[in-house]
Amino acid sequence: MNSKACLVLANGQIFEGCGFGSFGVVIGEAVFTTGMTGYLETLTDPSYFGQIVTQTFPLIGNYGLIHPDFESEKSHLRGYIVRDLCDMPSNFRSEGCLEEFLKSNGIIGLCGIDTRCLTKTLREAGVMNAMIISGDSKEAEEYFNALKNPAEKEKLLEKIRAYKITGAVEAVSMNASKIEESADVVFKTSAEYRAVPVTKDGLKVNDPEEAMKNGKGKKVVLWDFGAKANIRRELLKRGVDVITVPSDTSANEILHLNPDGIMLSNGPGDPSDNIKIIEEIKKICESKKPIFGICLGHQLLALARGAKTSKLKYGHRGANQPVKQLLTGRVYISSQNHGYAVNNESLPKYAVLSFVNANDGTCEGITYTDIPAFSVQFHPEASAGPLDTNFLFDEFIDLINNPHLLSNFSPKFKRIDATQCFANTIKETKALQMS
């Protein structure tokens, strides 16, 4: 640590600090995440592929390195930025410090900068590309010198702006499968930390036999577009057998496995880039197999069904995003990590909004009334509230046991104007604040 380092934004703004982890020069998409804890999950979440991630919480690394909390085998970030780095962690589960992890994964870190100022810049201007220059190598020194010359700096900024995340899903698929554990181990570990399944009523199911009874004998294919390990764990806790398949698996290959349900995982990048996968999902939909999509899986399913997606100004990344369930009016706290969203107005007539973001009204969930399928933009496996939306996995198991569940109840779903719903939510919030 303590090497010379800086962040150069595509708009020309420079933040000087200290380097840690690996050293060198790297370009990525600069984003921020607001989680106060969960930095290990952030570092190992494949959805951050190609990005330079800034933690808005000032102190990072205080509980060390804990391998059982990893979401995949390694980190897929381009760079990592924190305000204050803790190099002396204190935790009974700690296996090392954060800098060791970054070094072993070849990730360049930057600390000691004003992350509040950086976050405000990204909020106001929107997500943009950036470069981290760190260390005293010849390459780094050339870049530092280029920043001092206006003409050379402009060439450098052009190079930064030209960066584009490509081949994201292919690069991260099947990484989490390398740290898979058996159902017995998963449930035993979860029970130790009271991370067992939670019902819709908020009650924890501590008995493995009770928790697994509805899923026993059922088979789920986890279509891995960059899956977090905890998605598989949540399925295993409910008794189903999970078969993980890579992103380039065809619909015919998946259907040949004769699954009872299909899970579309999270993942990185622009969902519209995955043209082949979208075509294969269309074929899966025709099979009428029960489907549950999370994050990128939610977006890919929506694209396969005729909806459209668009890039958000600065995305939703953190463990404190409020989502409103339209059927009940209840608001849940959710964990999120996405830079794209399904356009509310583009949903076809057989797709109904089930959740909206209480901050900006964007689509957070869709229920399909013509096929047994539903999806959410947020992460129900990520323990945000801490276990608020965990019950969605139980709803998936219920759908597997009764594939006609959604279509049978389709009369209760109605087209909901998202803009009006968002306006009503804001009105209700203000009323509560005044009372």
Q: Exactly one of 295, 316, 363, 364 is catalytic; which is it?
A: 295
Amino acid at 269: G
Q: Which of 67, 66, 60 is nearest to 87 (CA)?
A: 60
Does the active-site annotation cover 379? yes
Does the active-site annotation cover 158? no
Tell me the residue length of the chain: 435
Structure-token match 């622009």, residue found: 270
Buried b (16+ CB within 10 A) or exposed e, 125-163: eebbbbbbbbbeeeebeebbebbeeeeebeebbeebeeb
The answer to whether residues 379 and 334 touch, using CB atoms and an 8 Å cutoff, is: yes
Rounded CA-CA distance 41/46 in Å is 10
Does the active-site annotation cover 316? no
CA atoms within 13 A on the CB side of 107: 25
C-alpha dist (Å) from residue 416 to 261, 307, 347: 28, 16, 11
What pairing do the DSSP bridges indicate for beta strands 331-342 and 309-325?
antiparallel
Rounded CA-CA distance 55/73 in Å is 21
Q: Exactly one of 99, 285, 379, 421 is catalytic; which is it?
A: 379
The answer to whether residues 306 and 349 touch, using CB atoms and an 8 Å cutoff, is: no
Q: Exactly one of 29, 71, 234, 381 is catalytic; which is it?
A: 381
Alpha helices by DSSP H, listed for 173-313, are 183-192, 208-212, 229-236, 251-256, 275-286, 296-304
Catalytic residues: 295, 379, 381
